[in-house]
Protein backbone atom coordinates (compact mmCIF):
# COMPACT_ATOMS: atom_id res chain seq x y z
CA UNK A 1 0.00 0.00 0.00
CA UNK A 2 1.30 3.46 -0.81
CA UNK A 3 1.62 6.09 1.86
CA UNK A 4 1.33 9.76 0.91
CA UNK A 5 2.08 8.97 -2.74
CA UNK A 6 5.22 6.99 -1.91
CA UNK A 7 5.69 3.35 -3.00
CA UNK A 8 6.07 0.54 -0.49
CA UNK A 9 9.56 -0.31 0.72
CA UNK A 10 11.33 -2.29 -1.98
CA UNK A 11 8.96 -1.12 -4.73
CA UNK A 12 10.38 1.30 -7.28
CA UNK A 13 8.26 4.37 -8.01
CA UNK A 14 6.58 4.43 -11.44
CA UNK A 15 8.30 7.00 -13.63
CA UNK A 16 7.69 8.00 -17.19
CA UNK A 17 10.31 7.26 -19.82
CA UNK A 18 11.01 10.99 -20.10
CA UNK A 19 11.75 11.10 -16.34
CA UNK A 20 14.02 8.07 -16.63
CA UNK A 21 15.89 9.38 -19.71
CA UNK A 22 15.47 13.15 -19.99
CA UNK A 23 18.06 13.45 -22.78
CA UNK A 24 16.60 10.69 -24.97
CA UNK A 25 15.30 11.95 -28.29
CA UNK A 26 11.58 12.07 -28.93
CA UNK A 27 12.04 10.00 -32.11
CA UNK A 28 14.08 7.28 -30.38
CA UNK A 29 11.34 6.94 -27.80
CA UNK A 30 8.71 6.67 -30.51
CA UNK A 31 7.34 10.15 -29.96
CA UNK A 32 3.83 10.32 -28.58
CA UNK A 33 3.05 6.88 -30.03
CA UNK A 34 4.69 5.13 -27.07
CA UNK A 35 3.43 7.40 -24.28
CA UNK A 36 1.50 4.56 -22.65
CA UNK A 37 4.29 2.01 -22.94
CA UNK A 38 5.43 0.02 -19.91
CA UNK A 39 9.20 0.16 -20.37
CA UNK A 40 11.78 -2.07 -18.73
CA UNK A 41 13.76 0.01 -16.25
CA UNK A 42 17.18 -1.57 -16.82
CA UNK A 43 18.93 -0.52 -20.04
CA UNK A 44 20.57 -3.01 -22.37
CA UNK A 45 24.33 -3.08 -21.88
CA UNK A 46 26.74 -2.49 -24.74
CA UNK A 47 28.36 -5.86 -24.05
CA UNK A 48 25.04 -7.70 -24.45
CA UNK A 49 24.11 -5.64 -27.54
CA UNK A 50 27.44 -6.55 -29.15
CA UNK A 51 27.13 -10.22 -28.18
CA UNK A 52 23.62 -10.51 -29.64
CA UNK A 53 24.69 -8.82 -32.87
CA UNK A 54 27.64 -11.20 -33.18
CA UNK A 55 25.14 -14.09 -32.99
CA UNK A 56 22.26 -12.71 -35.07
CA UNK A 57 23.78 -10.01 -37.26
CA UNK A 58 23.64 -6.21 -37.22
CA UNK A 59 20.58 -4.47 -35.81
CA UNK A 60 19.36 -0.97 -36.81
CA UNK A 61 20.89 2.02 -34.99
CA UNK A 62 17.48 3.39 -33.89
CA UNK A 63 16.52 0.03 -32.40
CA UNK A 64 19.89 -0.25 -30.60
CA UNK A 65 19.53 3.29 -29.21
CA UNK A 66 16.10 2.39 -27.82
CA UNK A 67 17.46 -0.82 -26.27
CA UNK A 68 20.32 1.14 -24.64
CA UNK A 69 17.71 3.33 -22.98
CA UNK A 70 15.19 0.74 -21.81
CA UNK A 71 15.80 -2.84 -22.76
CA UNK A 72 12.35 -3.63 -24.16
CA UNK A 73 8.82 -3.09 -22.95
CA UNK A 74 5.24 -3.44 -24.02
CA UNK A 75 2.04 -1.58 -24.62
CA UNK A 76 -0.18 -0.14 -27.30
CA UNK A 77 1.36 1.95 -30.07
CA UNK A 78 -0.84 5.03 -30.13
CA UNK A 79 -4.43 3.84 -30.59
CA UNK A 80 -3.29 0.90 -32.74
CA UNK A 81 -1.54 -2.42 -32.30
CA UNK A 82 -0.01 -3.97 -29.22
CA UNK A 83 3.79 -4.27 -29.25
CA UNK A 84 5.94 -6.38 -26.97
CA UNK A 85 9.63 -5.60 -27.52
CA UNK A 86 11.72 -8.45 -26.12
CA UNK A 87 14.75 -7.66 -23.94
CA UNK A 88 17.92 -7.85 -26.02
CA UNK A 89 19.34 -10.82 -24.10
CA UNK A 90 16.28 -12.92 -25.08
CA UNK A 91 16.68 -12.45 -28.83
CA UNK A 92 19.07 -15.36 -29.56
CA UNK A 93 16.90 -17.94 -27.79
CA UNK A 94 13.59 -16.55 -29.13
CA UNK A 95 14.99 -16.62 -32.67
CA UNK A 96 16.37 -20.15 -32.25
CA UNK A 97 13.06 -21.49 -30.88
CA UNK A 98 10.50 -19.50 -32.88
CA UNK A 99 12.30 -19.30 -36.20
CA UNK A 100 14.76 -22.17 -36.55
CA UNK A 101 14.46 -22.06 -40.37
CA UNK A 102 14.36 -18.28 -40.75
CA UNK A 103 16.27 -16.43 -43.40
CA UNK A 104 19.66 -15.68 -41.90
CA UNK A 105 19.27 -11.89 -42.05
CA UNK A 106 15.80 -11.66 -40.46
CA UNK A 107 15.86 -11.13 -36.67
CA UNK A 108 12.73 -11.46 -34.55
CA UNK A 109 12.54 -8.58 -32.04
CA UNK A 110 9.09 -8.91 -30.47
CA UNK A 111 5.46 -9.84 -30.82
CA UNK A 112 1.97 -8.42 -30.84
CA UNK A 113 1.19 -10.39 -27.68
CA UNK A 114 -0.73 -12.95 -29.74
CA UNK A 115 0.19 -14.70 -32.98
CA UNK A 116 2.18 -11.99 -34.77
CA UNK A 117 5.97 -11.77 -34.58
CA UNK A 118 7.84 -8.55 -35.37
CA UNK A 119 11.20 -8.72 -37.09
CA UNK A 120 13.84 -6.55 -38.68
CA UNK A 121 15.84 -7.32 -41.79
CA UNK A 122 18.88 -5.34 -42.86
CA UNK A 123 18.78 -4.10 -46.45
CA UNK A 124 21.06 -2.04 -48.67
CA UNK A 125 18.81 1.04 -48.35
CA UNK A 126 18.25 0.58 -44.61
CA UNK A 127 16.40 -1.79 -42.31
CA UNK A 128 12.99 -3.21 -43.08
CA UNK A 129 10.61 -3.90 -40.19
CA UNK A 130 8.27 -6.83 -40.77
CA UNK A 131 5.46 -8.83 -39.21
CA UNK A 132 5.18 -12.59 -39.57
CA UNK A 133 2.18 -14.69 -38.61
CA UNK A 134 3.67 -17.13 -36.09
CA UNK A 135 2.53 -20.14 -38.08
CA UNK A 136 4.01 -18.90 -41.36
CA UNK A 137 7.56 -17.97 -40.35
CA UNK A 138 9.01 -19.77 -43.33
CA UNK A 139 7.13 -17.39 -45.65
CA UNK A 140 8.00 -13.78 -46.38
CA UNK A 141 7.03 -11.25 -43.76
CA UNK A 142 4.71 -8.33 -44.45
CA UNK A 143 6.63 -5.03 -44.57
CA UNK A 144 5.58 -2.47 -41.96
CA UNK A 145 8.23 0.24 -42.32
CA UNK A 146 11.71 1.28 -43.43
CA UNK A 147 12.72 2.75 -40.06
CA UNK A 148 11.88 2.52 -36.37
CA UNK A 149 9.62 5.58 -36.73
CA UNK A 150 7.93 4.13 -39.84
CA UNK A 151 7.42 0.81 -38.03
CA UNK A 152 5.73 2.57 -35.11
CA UNK A 153 3.58 4.70 -37.42
CA UNK A 154 2.36 1.57 -39.22
CA UNK A 155 1.53 -0.13 -35.92
CA UNK A 156 -0.33 2.95 -34.70
CA UNK A 157 -2.66 2.73 -37.72
CA UNK A 158 -3.45 -0.97 -37.47
Q: Would you list the domain boundaries of the chain?
A: 35-157
Kindly report each contact of residues 146-153 with a partner whose C-beta sits within 8 Å and lies 24 or more positions away, as own/partner.
147/60, 147/62, 148/27, 148/28, 148/30, 148/60, 148/62, 148/63, 148/66, 149/27, 149/30, 149/31, 149/62, 151/118, 152/30, 152/31, 152/33, 152/34, 152/77, 152/78, 153/33
Q: Which CATH superfamily is domain 35-157 in?
A: SMI1/KNR4-like (3.40.1580.10)
Could you give the percent of the chain with pLDDT greater than 70? 74
Question: How high is the mean pLDDT of the chain?
Answer: 80
Q: What is the pLDDT of residues 103-120, one digit of tens each?
A: 668 999 999 998 899 999
Q: What is the pTM of this model?
A: 0.76
Q: What is the pLDDT of residues 73-88, one digit of tens each?
A: 999 998 889 999 999 9
Amino acid sequence: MESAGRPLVGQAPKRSIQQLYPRASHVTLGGHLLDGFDWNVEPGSDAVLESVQSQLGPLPAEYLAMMRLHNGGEGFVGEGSYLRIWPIEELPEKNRILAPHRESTVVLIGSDGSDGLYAVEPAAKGPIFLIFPRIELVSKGHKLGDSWAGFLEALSRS
